[in-house]
Structure 1
Amino acid sequence: MSRPWPAGRHRRVDSEFPVRIPVPNLAGAAQGNTGIPGVWRFDSGLPGPHAVITSLIHGNEFTGAAVLLRWLRQELRPRRGVLTLVFANLEAFARFDPEDPTLSRYVDEDMNRVWSHAILDGPRDSLELRRARALRPVIEAADALLDLHSMLWPSEPLMLTGRSRAARALAVAVGAPATVVLDGMHPDGPRMMDHTPFAAPGTHRVALLAEAGLHWEPGTTEMAEACASGFLRALGMIHGAPEPDRSGAAVWEVTKGIAATSRQFIFTEPFRGGVVIPRAGTLIARDGNAEIRTPHDDCMLVMPSPRVMRGHVAVRLARREAR
């Protein structure tokens, strides 16, 4: 028998960051079927990978959660292996307010900066750390992980992954977004995709992080679903997903992260994420009295943040992968 799912609520406000999509009602999804709130597991009974798709690591990034909610309503099941769907930071999401949508990213701290053994096993405490510890066995059981996110500032959609051949191959096979970025450890703290099970040398496990577009735009939900369905198709876990066109795929590798060292960090123009600066030495930002210039030709700006706190990453720089 199909489970009844309540309709979402929708309120558009005029602000710097208008919410143009319905806010999903996750009351039913929050129950889960594993004993862990917000975690759903479906076992095909046939050999295959254990795929985990996470959403809502940040409470105001709910396009991925809307996709997973729709899949639950449609009773999507894997044709092989095990599929686990995760609605992560339900506490932060419960505080989402369309009139001030940036405030519910987290309650105590960023849940996507705590994924190391030292932090998870350490003495610190926060709401997000408690939730990460509860989700830890779910994440560490994954053969393949897809973490669905969206972005506050204008940028082309990106698929981020580690630098292993297996992770790169899976990211390209997913087919959406067309831009794949090979990234190292995030300077602000370890993300879920940086967690040791996915980053240790020789591991068979892989993790991808999809930045599907702007937080509250209709096209972002569509891209998140394309990422998630492409992920399962690439793993051979669903039928019917269209074969992606890989002719436009581009793979980039992060070469440098730029952190603000002052409170006066400012870009020279309102760069959109994914823009490619043709010439090395081009001035792209000023950090107090310091000039920030591109270190190499054809330098892509990965998720530039025009408002950044001192000590935090303002932009990552990438070059096209050498063939």
Structure 2
Amino acid sequence: MSRIAIELAAPDIDAHRRSSTGVDFVHTFESGQPGPHVLVNAITHGNEICGAIVVDRLLRTGVRPTRGTLTLSFANIEAFSRFDPQRPYATRFVDEDFNRVWNTATLDGQRDSVELRRARALRPFVEAADFLLDIHSMLEPSPPVMICGPLDKGIRFAFDVAIPRDVVSDEGHANGTRMRDFGGFGDPSSPKNALLVECGQHWERSAEVVAWQTTWRFLRHTGVIDGETATREIALEPPPAQRLVRVTEAVVARTPEFRFARAFSGMEVVPQQGDVIAYDGGEAIRAPYDNCVLVMPVPNNVKTGLTAVRLGRIEPR
């Protein structure tokens, strides 16, 4: 795997271990006024440190809700505690992907892992939340994207937050359920709603900026923070117009010989139907339609049996 410069430093979050919730590294603040319960979550994956920087900063600066309830959480503490800049790819998780265990059968089942124990501890807070922002970053360099799920309510929510430019609507992953799809978040009849922001490559300095700006726009839109406070933190420059990319299929590497046809970047548009995207065991994988968007390709980390890239179609709004 190619080496990418690490421009961000993982914060020391030990000061946030103890909390009044009874669960380490999970802090809930009540305003005493009616309003939604909003959850901002960081380090679902242990090496995605931009979210940890943001939640640490929110806690250290004493951000509190003026309406409703605000919960700030650090998720996969065990993986994050093992982050080593010399081995930055090794700490995504300890036993399994924390963001594939969010379904009732798994959480209520008998299986055990570091990630499942932590997910079970966080479950009451996730279930209590009306709105969730789950802060992530990406393995490969890519423009930031907002993952909003397949439902219209998620798409509308992403456009209300208004950044980043690319809004990606997808069905999730075949190998497990994400936090942002759990319970009411994935129910079209529920008012609950959730977003997952991918802020850019894991350790690029710009990922911290995207995470901070997205968080404040999310807090402003949900109404738990007073407008003046949010306005002071949100950049004055208007964001670019957003576009909706709907994922139509995932390309799974079937053989160890899988390789991309060339060096593609995240959110790159393949112009013509039939253009070759990759080769897998001698088979050419081609763009299924014109202007096919490559969502989060992993050219340096292809694993047999897992998704190598998702293909998306730009939809007008």
Task: Confirm or deny a common fold (TM above 0.5).
Answer: yes
Q: Distance in 2 between matches of 1:79 and 1:251?
A: 32
Match in the other structure for 1:262: 255
Match in the other structure for 2:159: 172
Q: 1:251-295: per-residue Cα shift (whole Å, max 9, x none)?
A: 111111111111111101111111111111110001111211111
Q: Distance in 1 between matches of 2:186 and 2:296?
A: 22
Is the CA contact (8 Å cut-off) linking 2:273 and 2:291 kept in structure 1? yes
Residue 186 of structure 1 and its aligned partner are, at CA, apart by: 1.3
Which residue type is aligned with residue 78 of structure 2? E
Is the CA contact (8 Å cut-off) linking 2:37 and 2:69 kept in structure 1? yes
Is the CA contact (8 Å cut-off) linking 1:153 and 1:303 kept in structure 2? yes
Q: What are the residue-to-residue correspondences of 1:12-51 with 2, within 5 Å? A: 16-51=3-38
SS of alignment partner, residue 54 of structure 1: strand
**Consecutive unaligned residues in structure 1, runs of 5 or more:** 1-14
Is the CA contact (8 Å cut-off) linking 1:144 and 1:206 kept in structure 2? yes
Is the CA contact (8 Å cut-off) linking 2:246 and 2:312 kept in structure 1? yes
Which residue type is aligned with residue 282 of structure 1? D
Which residue type is aligned with residue 153 of structure 1? E
Residue 247 of structure 1 and its aligned partner are, at CA, apart by: 5.1
Residue 200 of structure 1 and its aligned partner are, at CA, apart by: 1.9
Match of 1:226 among 213, 216, 229: 213
Match in the other structure for 1:272: 265
Residue 47 of structure 1 and its aligned partner are, at CA, apart by: 1.1
SS of alignment partner, residue 147 of structure 1: strand
Q: Distance in 2 between matches of 1:173 and 1:223?
A: 16
More deviation in 69-78 or 190-199? 190-199
Q: TM-score, normalised by structure 2?
A: 0.94
Match in the other structure for 1:5: none
Is the CA contact (8 Å cut-off) linking 1:29 and 1:87 kept in structure 2? no
More deviation in 151-160 or 180-189? 180-189
Match in the other structure for 2:102: 115
Q: 1:3-37: per-residue Cα shift (whole Å, max 9, x none)?
A: xxxxxxxxxxxx81332122200111222331111
Q: Distance in 2 between matches of 1:122 and 1:267?
A: 38
Match of 2:286 among 287, 293, 308: 293
Match in the other structure for 1:63: 50
More deviation in 97-106 or 239-248? 239-248
Pairwise CA RMSD: 1.4
Is the CA contact (8 Å cut-off) linking 1:276 and 1:300 kept in structure 2? yes
Is the CA contact (8 Å cut-off) linking 1:106 and 1:128 kept in structure 2? yes
Q: Matched residue pairs, number? A: 309
Residue 201 of structure 1 and its aligned partner are, at CA, apart by: 3.0
Residue 244 of structure 1 and its aligned partner are, at CA, apart by: 7.5
Q: What are the residue-to-residue correspondences of 1:40-189 with 2, within 5 Å? A: 40-189=27-176
Q: Distance in 1 between matches of 2:271 and 2:19?
A: 48
Residue 55 of structure 1 and its aligned partner are, at CA, apart by: 0.3
Q: Distance in 1 between matches of 2:264 and 2:17?
A: 38
Is the CA contact (8 Å cut-off) linking 1:179 and 1:250 kept in structure 2? yes
SS of alignment partner, residue 92 of structure 1: helix
Q: TM-score, normalised by structure 1?
A: 0.92
Which residue type is aligned with residue 319 of structure 1? R
